[in-house]
Chain A
Amino acid sequence: MTIKVLFFAAFREQLGCDSLTLDYVDNITISELQQQLSHRGDQWQKVFSNTALLSAVNHTMVDVEHEINDLDEVAFFPPVTGG
């Protein structure tokens, strides 16, 4: 399966990356994806150990148990500060 992963705001800057396209053989959960991404380097470890990190799939907030499907758009971002 192929998924798109987006990063926003402080996380986007910390990682120096706004999006990734990833291929997996099997379905994975948000938690498993976070675990894998955290191994990419120090900054990744830092972002994914941040307890305030929020996750969305296809524009809907999800928890870490959520299972990601083919062609899903996953997003990771800090708590929102609009308005």
Chain B
Amino acid sequence: MSNTGIKVQLEDFDFGDEVDALEADNHVDGAVVTFIGRVRNNNDGLQVKHLFLEHYAGMTETCLADIVEQARQQWQLGNVSVIHRYGQLAIGDKIVFVGVTSKHRKDAFSAAEFIMDYLKVSAPFWKKEQTEQGEHWLAAKKTDQQEADKW
């Protein structure tokens, strides 16, 4: 069992269904680590009303698959699933899902964190925040690059 699933979609996803899919007919992996990123209502002191996500169709999928491949070279992984949404999102909406199975927890934890850290700095997505004070494109954070550089 070592399937990789990459989905870039407008629609929401169901957490339970995604975990079931990672575990289905998979009796060799004892660890399942998942991460969900959601839209929060505040950023840099501003009240956020909505979030708009743009992406570069084609490059995004290639980039996510490449990140998962890099993770597979460093850790012993079973199934890996990455879902990233784009379009107009509301507060609390799910943005991203990363799910990793492995025989052991350390590989699963590390790979999930690595995938998120790399996704943040290399997958071609751009967020535009709509706040009470108007809308603006978010600037990339130095701290995100530092997180990715630590691997």
Contacts A9-B137, A59-B59, A59-B62 hold; do A80 and B126 have CB atoms under 8 A apart? yes
CB–CB B126/A77 < 8 A: yes
CB–CB B55/A82 < 8 A: yes
Contacts A79-B140, A81-B140, A83-B116 hold; do A8 and B54 have CB atoms under 8 A apart? yes
Q: Looking at the assembled complex, report how far the CB atom of B56 sits from the nearest CB atom of chain A, in whole angstroms.
A: 6
Contact flags (1/0) for A47-80 with B, using CB distance below 8 Å? 0000010001001010000000000000101111
Closest B-chain residue to A13, C-beta based?
Answer: B137
B contacts with A, residue count (CB < 8 A): 28
CB–CB B96/A83 < 8 A: yes
- Give the segment of B19-27, B100-108, B117-125 that binds chain A: B117-125
Name the contact of A81 in the complex, choosing from B56, B96, B139 (C-beta under 8 A).
B139
CB–CB A82/B140 < 8 A: no
Q: Which residues of A contact B (CB under 8 A)?
A: 6, 8-10, 12-13, 52, 56, 59, 61, 75, 77-83
24 contacting pairs across A/B (C-beta < 8 A): A8-B54, A8-B56, A10-B126, A10-B137, A13-B137, A59-B56, A59-B58, A79-B140, A80-B123, A80-B125, A80-B126, A80-B140, A81-B125, A81-B127, A81-B137, A82-B55, A82-B84, A82-B96, A82-B119, A82-B123, A82-B124, A83-B37, A83-B84, A83-B95
Given A82-B84, A83-B96, 9 more A-B residue pairs with CB atoms under 8 Å apart are: A9-B54, A9-B126, A9-B137, A59-B58, A59-B63, A61-B122, A80-B123, A82-B125, A83-B84
